[in-house]
Structures are given as structure tokens and as C-alpha cells.
Structure 1
Amino acid sequence: MFDSCADPKTLEGLSWFLCFLTSGKQLLFYRSFFIVLILLAVTAPVALAFGFGGAMAARSRIAPLSWFGKGYSAMTRGVPDIVFFLFVPIAMDQALEMIRHKIKCPEWTDPIFRGSDFVVCQQAKFPLSTSPQIYHDLYAFTLAVIAFAVVFGAFAASVIYGAMQAVPRAQMETAEAYGMTDRQAFWRIMVPQMWTYALPGLSNLWMILIKATPLLFILGIQDVVYWARENGGYKTEHFDYPHPDWRVYYFLVLLVFYLLMTKGSEVIIGRLTRNLSHGQATLAGERMRRAGR
């Protein structure tokens, strides 16, 4: 990064260490923290949307829609997460390439599935092999977001469905007595109160989502775990910056990072819980009423 770091073999002491911390691979390690934060920022609302849609489907009066909502939640929660993390990206990737293959290579007569191999024409590859690396990275990241959203959306659907059921029926009957339609009562009465009951479960899901981000490594994305192992591993004289096995220190950095993330989340969730509980007929709301808040 600096001109003085051009030849690492001429460096020693603090100069060597500063150049090591600003080397190309170290910068990629720093960037990987932003990848984790972006994943959380994107996945959380998408998973929440999946969960809300699944909960609405589960409580639908249309039987097939209700079956779909309850089945989505039950099936995803009943299968190990790692199965979906591996299945969703592969299934979506192959489905997309198969569709492109049918459109772009109609003259192709050879089978696509050849034993354990999946073979399509070069024009059907997505992204194309000639595409810039940024497109491959964005594509892999998008598949990862969808995989995370599918899994955590199912858990969110169960939480939100239970929260909707927890809203007192008398509230909905009162809304109907005042002439509100089912749609108006749902959005004006149930949804605002539902979040109070759903927040404890959703906050737990958020914590689990934070701890699940290292699974990006399994999906082929170079995340913090990948670069901690890559940069911290033993380096011989064949490398620009040879050093002993420093992985324990790298993983200590990850430990501190995730502890700070979870602690900050606890503070924010605590404040959000107090704001949502104010004036509500819940235990938290009753405690606030008695405290005169």
C-alpha cells in the first residue's frame, strides 16, 4: 500500500508490522467485516418479509394458502439449516442456468444431467465466464442472502404467527363493532400490537443470524472466517510476510467483533422493547405503567 512496503524483506520491527497490517490480503480481511455487516443489513428485512408473508399465508382462510404457509414454516424448521444453505444456492443456480440453456441453446441435444455433472452451454452460464469478477461476487452474495432469508424467514413466520394469535380477540371484535373491515382491523389493530409480542422471538432470531454469518464460508464467499484462517495461518519464507501461526489472534479479533455486535444489538433491542411496550397490555407495559413512565 505504501512505497516503503515495496520490499518486505528489507523491513523489520514496527515498520514490518505496519506494512503487514496494510498489505493486500489484510485489506481484504478488513473488507470482509463490511461484507458481514451488509449481509445482516440486507438479509434481516428480507427474512422479515418472508416471515410476515408466511405468517399471513398461515392464517389465511384459503386452505391451500394456509397449508403453504404452515408447511413452509414447519418444513424449514424441521430440516437442518446447513441443508438449506447448501441446497438453495445450488438449486437456484441450476434452475436459472437451465432456463437460460433452453432459451439460448435450443439446438442442444445432449442431456444436461450427466451423472453427478450438470452441463449447459457456455452462453447459459450465469454469470458468464467472461464477466468481471464483481458480477460473480454479487451473484454469490445474492444467492447467500436468499438462502439465509428462506431459513430465517421460516422461523420468523412461526414467531409472527404466534404473535398474531396472541393479540386479544376482544381487540379485533371491538374494531369490527366500530365498523372496521377485516383488512382495516388487521393493519390498524393487530399489526401494531403484534410486534410487541413478536419482538422477543425476533430478537433471538437476530442474534442467531449474527452467529450464522460465518456460514458464508461454506457458500464460497470469502468472509471474515476465510481471511482469518488464510492470513493467520503459518507463512514460510516463500511468502512476502512470513510469520508463525497467528490464527488464534485472528479468531480472537472475530470473537471481539461478534461480542460487540451482540452487545450492541441487546442495547438497541432493549430500547425498542421499552418503546413498543409503552401503554401496551403486556407484562413489560404493566411494569412501565407502575413505574410511572
Structure 2
Amino acid sequence: MFSYCADPSTLTGLTWLSCYLTTGKHMAFYTSFGVVLLLLAITAPTALAFGFGGAAAARSRFLPMQLFGKGYIAIVRGVPDIAFFLFFVIALDQGFEWLRHQVLCPDWDQPIRQGNDFVVCQAAKLPLGNAPQWIHEVYGFLLAMLTFAIVFGAFAANVLFGAMRAVPHAQLETAEAYGMTRRQTFWRILVPQMWVYALPGLSNLWMVLIKATPLLFLLGVEDIVYWARELGATANPRFTQYPHGDWRMWYFLALLIFYLGFTRVSEVLLERLMQKLTHGQATTGGEAQRKAAT
């Protein structure tokens, strides 16, 4: 980046460090922090939408819909998160390619499952083999994002289902007594009040989601963990013109500070949101606010 960085072998001290920290690979490392934030910004509302749909389905009086919702919620129990992530990435990728294969290659006369191989026609592959590198990276990121949304959507569905059940049933009965339909009661009475009961669980889920972002590394996305490991451990001149010893501890210390700072900011914002939601509510938090005001 700087003009004096032309010959790294002549650099020492802070000059060497300034050049080292502005290499192309370090710029990719800095950009990967944005990738993590982008993942959270997209995944959180998507997972919340999945969770709301799952919770609403679990409350449905239509038995197949109810079984679907409760089955979706049940996937959060008993299976490690990493198994979910590895399964969904493979399943989604092969599912998309299978659908494209059925549409684009109807004359294909060979089995798709050939032993341990999943074989589709060339036109059905995602992304296409001749696609630019950035398309491969975007596709991998979208698969990871959708996987995060499906998995954490199940956790959110469990939280929201419990929050819906926590809303006093007498209020729902009163709404029906005033002539509201079941749909009106759901949207005007149940949904607005359930958030105060759901927020503590959703806050914890947000923290878990933040801590789960390093799983991007296992899903093939070059995230901050990938670059911290590569840049911190390298002493190979073929990888960088600035070889050094094992600096992984310092790189991972930077990740530690980043995650601690980010979770602290999240805690402050969530606490303010909780205070706003509980204001005037007949809950423990609302009662505490009334006592503090007097």
C-alpha cells in the first residue's frame, strides 16, 4: 500500500509492521469482519421469520401444520449444532442441484446417486464450473446463511412458542368475547404481547448466534477464523513476503477482543429494548420500572 513497501527485505521495526498489516491478505482479513457482520445482519431477521412461522404452525389447529411446526422445533433437541450445520449445507447444495437437474436435464438416463458420488448434468451444477470466483464465494456464503437461518430458526421457534403460551389466556378469551376472530386475536393481542416474554430467550439466542459465526470456517467460507489461522501461523515466503514466527495467539486475541466488544454492545442495546418493551406491562420488569419511578 505504501511506496516504501516495495522491498520488504529492507524494512525493519514499525515500517515493516505497517507494510505487513496492509498486505492484500490482511485486507481480506479485515473484510472478513464485515462478512461476519453481514451474516448476522441477514441471518438474525431470517431466522426470526423462520422461528415465527414455526411457532405459529405449532399453535395451529390444523393437525398436519401443527405436527410440522412441532417437528421443526424438535430438531433443536438432542443433536449437536455442528451436525446440523454440516448436514444442511450438503443437503441444501444437493437439493438445489437436484431440482435444477430435473428441470434442465430431463433426458438424463444415468442415476444421480452413483455409489458415494452425487452426479448431476453439467448445466445443473451450482455454481457453474466456468463462473467467476466471486460467484462461488457468494454461493457458499448464501448456503451458510440459509443454514444458519434454518438451524437458529428452530431455536427461535422454540422460544416464540413458549412466549405465545406465556401470554395470559384470559386476555385471549376477553378478545374473543368482544367479537374478535381467532386471526384478529392472534395479530392484535397475542403477537404484540409475546415479545416481552420472548426477548430474554431471543437475547440469549443472539449471543449464541454471535459465538456460532466461527462455524463459517467449517462451512468453507473464508471468515475471520480462517484468516487468523493462516496469517498467524504462516512462516512460508510463498504465502507472504513478510514471514514470521507463530503469531496465532495474537490474531486469536484480536478475535477475542472483537467478540467481547460486540457482545457487550449487544447486551446494552438488548437491555434498552427490554426496558422499552416492559414499560407499562404487567410483568416483573414492568413492576420494577413502576417502583423505580415512584
TM-score, structure 2 normalization:
0.96
Moved more, 154-163 or 233-242: 233-242
Counterpart of 2:75 in 1: which secondary structure? helix
Paired position in structure 1 for 2:216:
216
Matches within 5 A, 1:52-131: 52-131=52-131
2:288 corresponds to 1:287? yes
Matches within 5 A, 1:124-273: 124-238=124-238, 239-273=240-274
The Cα shift of 1:141 comes to 0.9
Matched AA of 1:216 = L
Structure 1 unaligned regions, length at least 5 = none
Counterpart of 1:76 in 2: which secondary structure? coil
1-side partners of 2:139 and 2:101: how far apart? 18
1-side partners of 2:50 and 2:106: how far apart? 35
Moved more, 144-153 or 118-127: 118-127
User: Which string of whole-angstrom CA distances, capped at 9 and with x for unpartnered residues, describes residues 162-185 of structure 1?
Assistant: 111110011112212222222111
Identity of aligned residues (%): 64
Residues 110 and 228 of structure 1: CA distance in aligned 2, closer, same or farther (over 3 Å):
same
1-side partners of 2:103 and 2:281: how far apart? 56
1-side partners of 2:108 and 2:190: how far apart? 54
User: Which string of whole-angstrom CA distances, capped at 9 and with x for unpartnered residues, describes residues 89-108 of structure 1?
Assistant: 11111122122223333333
The Cα shift of 1:32 comes to 0.5
The Cα shift of 1:113 comes to 1.6
Counterpart of 2:29 in 1: which secondary structure? helix
The Cα shift of 1:236 comes to 4.0
2-side partners of 1:236 and 1:84: how far apart? 35
The Cα shift of 1:20 comes to 0.5
Matched AA of 1:283 = T
Structure 2 unaligned regions, length at least 5 = none
User: Which string of whole-angstrom CA distances, capped at 9 and with x for unpartnered residues, describes residues 113-170 of structure 1?
Assistant: 2211112222211111111112111111111111111111111111101111110011
The Cα shift of 1:109 comes to 2.4
1-side partners of 2:2 and 2:125: how far apart? 39
Paired position in structure 2 for 1:276:
277
Contact 1:5 1:19 in 2 (8 A): yes
Moved more, 133-142 or 47-56: 133-142
The Cα shift of 1:19 comes to 0.5
Contact 1:77 1:151 in 2 (8 A): no
RMSD across aligned positions (CA): 1.3
TM-score, structure 1 normalization:
0.96
Moved more, 50-59 or 179-188: 179-188
Contact 1:77 1:154 in 2 (8 A): no
Counterpart of 2:282 in 1: which secondary structure? coil
1-side partners of 2:134 and 2:58: how far apart? 39
Counterpart of 1:229 in 2: which secondary structure? helix
1-side partners of 2:110 and 2:48: how far apart? 42
Matched AA of 2:158 = S
Matched AA of 1:272 = L
Contact 1:20 1:241 in 2 (8 A): yes
Moved more, 264-273 or 133-142: 133-142
